[in-house]
C-alpha cells in the first residue's frame, strides 16, 4: 500500500487544506506515515509569514533532497504561501521538488477542484475555508501576494460542506479566511458573513460556530448583532490590532486608529456579554519608538485580551514595508519588547482565568492528552479533566477547580449543559 506524508506549518487555513489533501490521498489508496523517508508521496504545506517559518520550510526542503536522491521515484510537492503564481525561481532553487501548487489550489495530479475531500471521520472540531486571499495589502504582509485576491465560496457550497461534516460527526465548525469580514462581496447575491452564519446556525446537529480572522476596519454592526443573537455562534472573536500607536498603524496600512479599535472592542463587549477577545501584535515594526511601543502595552493593559499572538517584525521580500522601510530595530530590542508583551499578557490571562474558578462551563471534548481529557469552552478556553469514560465529541459541564494563564482544570458536573453566554 503506498504511503503519504504531509508536513504542515502556519495558520489554520494551511492545516485545513492539508486535512483535505490527506482525505483525498486516502481515497486514492494511500496510507498516512509520520516518516518522510518511507513515503511515496510527500507534500510540504509551507508558511512564509515570518522569516522563522520560512527558514523551517527551507531546512525541510533541503533535508528532503537526500530522500529524493535515494528514492527518485517518489513524488515531492510544495504548496502553501511559499508558492506564488510564478514558480520558475522555486524550480531553479529546489530542482528535486516535482510539483509546486499554490495555497488553496490542487496538486496537478488531482484533476479538479472537487477532487479534494472531506475527512471521513472528522474530529469534533473542524475547519471550513469560506474565503481565499486578501485585498487589504497591510504593508508588512506577504499573504495577498501569495494567496491572491479575495475569492468567496458560495453560501450553498459552504452549507453543504458543513452539513456533511456534521453528518459525519463534527460538532463545531470554524469558518476560515484571511479576512472573513470581506466574505461575499465578490458573489452575485453579495451575502455577508452575518448572512452565512444565519444560514449555518440552522443546521441540525451543529452545536458551535466560530470564525477567524477578522479585520477591525471591515467588521460590521450587523455581524456583531449576529454574534449576539445566533445561539450557535460562540462568544469569542479574533480581532488583530497589531499596534497601539496611530503612526505605526498608519505605516502598517491597517486602515483604523487605536481609538477606532478601542471603540469597536467596547461595542462588541457591550453587545456580546462575556465575549473573549483575542488579538495579534507585531513588535519592532520599522522606526517603532519606545513611546510607540508603550502605546501598544497601554492598549493591551486597557482592553485585557483573553489571548495575544505576538510576533517580532521580520521584513518579507515583496511587501511595501520591506521595500520602503528600514528594518532598523535591533533584534535584541525586538526580543525585549516581545518579552514585555508576553509578561504583561501572562499577568492579564492569569487574572481573567482565575475568575473562572468555581464556575461550571460547557466543554466540547476534543481528545486526550497525557491521560486527561481536554476540550474548549465557548470562549475558547482549554479545559482538562480526568475520567475513565469516553467523552470524545460530547458537550459536557465541567466545574473549574484550578486555573493557569494557559488552561483550566476541573471536574465533570452532571446535568443540563451550562451556557457561558447567550
Ligand atoms: S488583512 Fe492584512 S495582515 Fe491580514 S492577510 Fe490581509 S494583508 Fe495580511
Tens digits of residue pLDDT in 312-364:
999 999 999 999 999 999 999 999 999 999 999 999 999 999 999 999 999 99
Helix (H) or strand (E) holding 261: helix 258-271
* Share above pLDDT 70 across residues of the chain, in percent, rounded to a whole number: 97
Tens digits of residue pLDDT in 350-405:
999 999 999 999 999 999 999 999 999 999 999 999 999 999 999 999 999 999 99
Q: Whose CA is nearest to atom 8 of ligand 1?
A: 141
Can you spell out the DSSP letters for 58-86? HHHHHHHHHHHHH-TTSEEEEEETT--S-
Give me the residues paired with residue 412 across strands: 398
Tens digits of residue pLDDT in 208-251:
999 999 999 999 999 999 999 999 999 999 999 999 999 999 99
Long-range CB pairs of 142-146 (<8 Å, 24+ gap) are 142/48, 142/49, 142/81, 142/316, 142/317, 142/318, 142/319, 143/49, 143/81, 143/178, 145/84, 145/318, 145/319, 146/48, 146/81, 146/82, 146/83, 146/84, 146/102, 146/103
CA geometry: angle at 279 spanning 171 and 376, to 5°? 25
Instruction: Give the separation between CA 366 and CA 369, rounded to whole angstroms.
Output: 10
Alpha-helical runs (H) found in 10-50: 12-27
What interhelical angle do 155-167 and 193-200 show, nearest 10? 30
Pick from 12, 18, 368, 418: nearest CA to 210: 12
Query: How far does the centroid of ligand 1 lie from the alpha carbon of residue 137, in Å?
Result: 6
Query: How far does the centroid of ligand 1 lie from the alpha carbon of residue 134, in Å?
Result: 6
**Cβ atoms of residues 256 and 217 within 8 Å:** yes
- pLDDT at 120 > cutoff 90: no
**Cβ atoms of residues 78 and 58 within 8 Å:** no
Instruction: Give the separation between CA 416 and CA 225, rounded to whole angstroms.
Output: 27
CA geometry: angle at 17 spanning 15 and 18, to 5°? 65
Pick from 249, 252, 241, 243: nearest CA to 324: 252
Query: How far does the centroid of ligand 1 lie from the alpha carbon of residue 202, in Å?
Result: 30
Tens digits of residue pLDDT in 7-20:
999 998 999 889 98
Place of cell 516535482: 98
Helix (H) or strand (E) holding 322: helix 320-324
pLDDT at 109: 75
Best residue among 81, 141, 261 to mutate for probing ligand 1's pocket (most ligand atoms within 8 Å of CB) is: 141
pLDDT at 63: 93
Point out the ligand 1 atom lying closest to the alpha carbon of residue 134. Answer: 6
Query: How far does the centroid of ligand 1 lie from the alpha carbon of residue 76, in Å?
Result: 29
127's CB contacts (< 8 A; 6+ apart) are: 12, 13, 15, 16, 19, 173, 174, 176
Phi, psi torsion values for 256, nearest 5 degrees = -150, 165
Q: Whose CA is nearest to atom 5 of ligand 1?
A: 178
Query: How far does the centroid of ligand 1 lie from the alpha carbon of residue 240, in Å?
Result: 10
Half-sphere exposure of 43 (CA within 13 A, CB side): 29
**Cβ atoms of residues 337 and 283 within 8 Å:** yes
Mean pLDDT of the chain, nearest integer: 94
* Share above pLDDT 90 across residues of the chain, in percent, rounded to a whole number: 85
Tens digits of residue pLDDT in 91-114:
999 999 999 998 877 787 776 544
pLDDT at 420: 60
Ligand 1 binding pocket (C-beta < 6 A) is: 134, 136-138, 141, 143-144, 178-179, 215
Query: How far does the centroid of ligand 1 lie from the alpha carbon of residue 141, in Å?
Result: 6
Pick from 276, 287, 353, 282: nearest CA to 325: 287
| CA separation, residue 63 to residues 44, 90, 215, 400 (Å) | 12, 16, 37, 45
pLDDT at 418: 65
- Tell me the three cell numbers of residue 89: 525561481
194's CB contacts (< 8 A; 6+ apart) are: 220, 222, 223, 225, 226
| CA separation, residue 238 to residues 36, 77, 380 (Å) | 34, 32, 11
- pLDDT at 275 > cutoff 50: yes
Place of cell 471591515: 218
Point out the ligand 1 atom lying closest to the alpha carbon of residue 178. Answer: 5
Place of cell 485545513: 16
Q: For the whole prediction, is pTM greater than 0.85?
A: yes
- Tell me the three cell numbers of residue 196: 452565512
Phi, psi torsion values for 182, nearest 5 degrees = -90, 0
Residue 93 DSSP SS3: helix
- Indicate left, alpha or beta for 277 from its phi (over 0: left) and psi (-120 to 50: alpha): beta
pLDDT at 113: 45
Long-range CB pairs of 61-64 (<8 Å, 24+ gap) are 61/94, 61/97, 64/36, 64/96
Give me the residues paired with residue 376 across strands: 364, 382
Which letter, b or e, does each residue of 34-48 get, where b requires 16 or more Cβ atoms within 10 Å of its Cβ?
eebeebbbbbbbbbb
Point out the ligand 1 atom lying closest to the alpha carbon of residue 141. Answer: 8
| CA separation, residue 388 to residues 362, 382, 391 (Å) | 19, 19, 9
pLDDT band for position 160 (50/70/90)?
A: very high
Amino acid at each position: 500500500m503506498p504511503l503519504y506524508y504531509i508536513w504542515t506549518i502556519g495558520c489554520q487555513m494551511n492545516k485545513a487544506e492539508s486535512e483535505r489533501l490527506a482525505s483525498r490521498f486516502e481515497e486514492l489508496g494511500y496510507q498516512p506515515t509520520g516518516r518522510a523517508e518511507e513515503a511515496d508521496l510527500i507534500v510540504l504545506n509551507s508558511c512564509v509569514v515570518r522569516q522563522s517559518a520560512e527558514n523551517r520550510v527551507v531546512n525541510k526542503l533541503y533535508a528532503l533532497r537526500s530522500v529524493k536522491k535515494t528514492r527518485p521515484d517518489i513524488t515531492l510537492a510544495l504548496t502553501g504561501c511559499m508558492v506564488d503564481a510564478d514558480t520558475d525561481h522555486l524550480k531553479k532553487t529546489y530542482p528535486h521538488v516535482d510539483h509546486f501548487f499554490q495555497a488553496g489550489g490542487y496538486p496537478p495530479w488531482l484533476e479538479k477542484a472537487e477532487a479534494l475531500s472531506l475527512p471521513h471521520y472528522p474530529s469534533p472540531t473542524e475547519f471550513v475555508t469560506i474565503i481565499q486571499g486578501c485585498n487589504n495589502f497591510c504593508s508588512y504582509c506577504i499573504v495577498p501576494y501569495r494567496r491572491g485576491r479575495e475569492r468567496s465560496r458560495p453560501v450553498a457550497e459552504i452549507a453543504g460542506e458543513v452539513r456533511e461534516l456534521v453528518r459525519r460527526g463534527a460538532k463545531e465548525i470554524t469558518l476560515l479566511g484571511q479576512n472573513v469580514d470581506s466574505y461575499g462581496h465578490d458573489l452575485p447575491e453579495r451575502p455577508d458573513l452575518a448572512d452565512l452564519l444565519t444560514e449555518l446556525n440552522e443546521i441540525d446537529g451543529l452545536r458551535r460556530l466560530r470564525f477567524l480572522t477578522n479585520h477591525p476596519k471591515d467588521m460590521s454592526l450587523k455581524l456583531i448583532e449576529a454574534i449576539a443573537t445566533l445561539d450557535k455562534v460562540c462568544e469569542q472573536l479574533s480581532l488583530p490590532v497589531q499596534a497601539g500607536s496611530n503612526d505605526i498603524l498608519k505605516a502598517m496600512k491597517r486602515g483604523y486608529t487605536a481609538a477606532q479599535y478601542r471603540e469597536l472592542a467596547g461595542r462588541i463587549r457591550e453587545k456580546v456579554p462575556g465575549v473573549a477577545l483575542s488579538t495579534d501584535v507585531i513588535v519592532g515594526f520599522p522606526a517603532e519608538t519606545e513611546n510607540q511601543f508603550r502605546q501598544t502595552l497601554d492598549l493591551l493593559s486597557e482592553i485585557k485580551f483573553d489571548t495575544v499572538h505576538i510576533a517580532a517584525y521580520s521584513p518579507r521580500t515583496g511587501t511595501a514595508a520591506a521595500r520602503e522601510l528600514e528594518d532598523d530595530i535591533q533584534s535584541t530590542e525586538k526580543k525585549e519588547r516581545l518579552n514585555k508583551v508576553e509578561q504583561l499578557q501572562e499577568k492579564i490571562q492569569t487574572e481573567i482565568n482565575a475568575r473562572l474558578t468555581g464556575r461550571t462551563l460547557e466543554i466540547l471534548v476534543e481528545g486526550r492528552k497525557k491521560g486527561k481529557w481536554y476540550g474548549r469552552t465557548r470562549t475558547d478556553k482549554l479545559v482538562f479533566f480526568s475520567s475513565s469514560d469516553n467523552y470524545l465529541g460530547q458537550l459536557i459541564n465541567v466545574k473549574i477547580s484550578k486555573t493557569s494563564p494557559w488552561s483550566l482544570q476541573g471536574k465533570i458536573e452532571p446535568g443540563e449543559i451550562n451556557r457561558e453566554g447567550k
